[in-house]
Amino acid sequence: MSDRFRIDGRRALVTGANTGIGRAIAESLAERGAHVVAAGRSSCAETVAAIEAAGGRAEAMTLDLSDPVAAAARLAEAGPLDILVNNAGIIRREDSVDYTEADWDDVMDVNLKAVFLLSQAFAKAAIARGTGGTIVNIASLLSFQGGIRVPGYTASKHGVAGLTKVLANEWAGQGITVNAVAPGYIATNNTEALRNDPKRSAEILGRIPAGRWGDPEDIGGAVAFLCTAAAGYVTGAILNVDGGWLAR
């Protein structure tokens, strides 16, 4: 009997795979047998080296999502893909009364427009081949909450949640599942300042039932599950990986 939690022989592209959550996702997919295309604006050489050192298969691809149209046009360069993980994202912090149009547009381009255009290009190719496929988007706790001083990020991540559902509805009949993972507070470079602030860190940990910050590998495992045959009947779902934050 085949292992329904393996993805051997499948080819997966992960955006923002150079560090943090993106790197953990790439490594988790490779561990389960996928050939990973680690894509990012910055070099993904370290991610590829780590995967290969562990006996996996990977290659790097430079992909700048600040120009979503150009990035989507280059997706075919990665070869036929079975899995697309839209992980890359940016955040700009400022009081909403002072938030600039440039910051809004930059965040929306990377966090939402690129997610749609890459998914669209992926789906067009998969439908033409008749092979089906898997898309996993990285949402956020701010797909459900408002936060403060991050209007562009919050709006974009609410958009990712809605986009995940509409694409799941449209493409399920073509054998394409579309889901999202919503990370909670994860120990990455992006949260280093929060973790180093004793007061803020204590406030956050006091709200998390699990009592700890998440690890990037927690997200990698959740994404990998959604890419396996075991999750073949899961589509349009947003899986919270937050230590219980939203349940509190």
How is the chain split into domains, by residue range?
Answer: 11-187+217-239
pLDDT at residue 97 in the model: 98
pLDDT at residue 156 in the model: 98
Cα separation, 17 vs 39, in Å, equals 6
Q: For the chain, what percent of residues have pLDDT higher than 70?
A: 99
Cα separation, 151 vs 68, in Å, equals 20
- Looking at the predicted structure, is the pLDDT value of residue 1 above 70? no
**Known active-site residue 233:** no
What is the pLDDT averaged over residues 6-21? Answer: 97
pLDDT at residue 194 in the model: 86
pLDDT at residue 190 in the model: 81
pLDDT at residue 120 in the model: 98
**Among candidate residues 1, 17, 248, the one with its CA nearest the CA of residue 136:** 17
Q: What is the CATH topology of the domain spanning 11-187+217-239?
A: Rossmann fold (3.40.50)
Which of the residue ranges 51-60, 190-199, 223-232 would you say has the lowest mean pLDDT? Answer: 190-199
pLDDT at residue 231 in the model: 98
End-to-end CA distance of the chain: 40
Taking only the tens place, the pLDDT of each residue in 95-146 is 999 999 999 999 999 999 999 999 999 999 999 999 999 999 999 999 999 9
Q: What is the mean pLDDT of the chain?
A: 97
Taking only the tens place, the pLDDT of each residue in 18-77 is 999 999 999 999 999 999 999 999 999 999 999 999 999 999 999 999 999 999 999 999
Cα separation, 12 vs 29, in Å, equals 8
**Among candidate residues 172, 170, 147, the one with its CA nearest the CA of residue 158:** 147
